Amino acid sequence: MSKTGTVLLLAAITAIALGERRRPLRRTTRPVRPRIARNLVMGAMCAGVVLLAEAPATQAIARANVRDRRGLAGWLPGALGPVAAFVAMDYGFYRWHVATHRVPLLWRLHRVHHVDPDLDMSTALRFHFVDMAVSLPWQAAQVRLSGIGPRTLAAWKQFFLLSILFHHSNLRLPARWDAWASLVLTTPRMHGIHHSQCLAERESNWSSGLSLWDRLHGTFVAGVEPARILIGVDDAAAGADVALGRALAAPFA
């Protein structure tokens, strides 16, 4: 990433962090600092998997895509190829997200993300490191089939990171702004519904970048007031599984 890109990314992250403190969308139910500390530790463990395994593997596949002109991007002319690959990567993650809820083994891992009783930027980092490892074959297949190149892959990862930090944030945008933004992107109000303890609400709004996929698949839900949503998972062990040690052990209990 260029220095300018890094500065802009950090500026956007800082703006979201400040915004969710000054204009919270939901009331917090637990002490903030212990939650954030736990989530940061879990995020650091996931980052280790990404840096040591996911990034080298996917970048190698992306370089081969360009060299051999393969995958979706290799079949399409000019700039259409990278654009299509970018969109395909986003759709691939939508399908993976649905699978993490529908496949019992994957849900045991993904549940660690959902048991967080509050929702803010730090929740975007709260994943089980084994969840990251298990997703590697799917990510490799995404990169291979999309034909995405290294530069477009890096751009998609930056977009994806900023998107998940934004839509997990506790940032209260004006309702009209949020509604307009959700025509294209996943927003805090939209994703907050997905983190509801109500199963019918959790089984919606799977998109993590472009909101198009929920609209195409009929899984888009709007109009649920944030104050009415109980964040988390409605099961007997959820409260205890918030703690770091319990969270790491929970999928194997």
pLDDT reading at 93 higher than 80: yes
- Is residue 197 within 8 Å of 231, Cβ to Cβ? yes
208-229 pLDDT, tens digit per residue, is: 999 999 999 999 999 999 999 9
pLDDT band at 2 (very low <50, low <70, confident <90, very high): low
The pLDDT value given to residue 242: 95
According to DSSP, residue 127 is labeled: -
CA distance 191 to 22: 20
Enumerate the domain spans of the chain. 3-20+34-252
Q: Return the residue matching tokens 């993976």.
A: 96
pLDDT reading at 239 higher than 70: yes
152-174 pLDDT, tens digit per residue, is: 999 999 999 999 999 999 999 99
Give the chain's mean pLDDT.
96
Q: What is the percent of the chain where pLDDT is above 90?
A: 95
Residue closest to 232 by CA, chosen among 18, 29, 63, 36: 29
Tokens (6 digits) for 175: 């309702």
The pLDDT value given to residue 83: 97
Find the mean pLDDT for residues 28-37.
94
Angle of the 80-102 helix axis to the 150-168 helix axis, nearest 10: 50
Give first-to-last CA distance, the chain, whole Å.
40
Find the mean pLDDT for residues 122-131.
98
CA 9 to mean position of chain CA atoms: 16
The pLDDT value given to residue 6: 82
Angle of the 150-168 helix axis to the 3-22 helix axis, nearest 10: 10
The pLDDT value given to residue 7: 85
Find the mean pLDDT for residues 67-74.
96
168-208 pLDDT, tens digit per residue, is: 999 999 999 999 999 999 999 999 999 999 999 999 999 99
The pLDDT value given to residue 1: 65
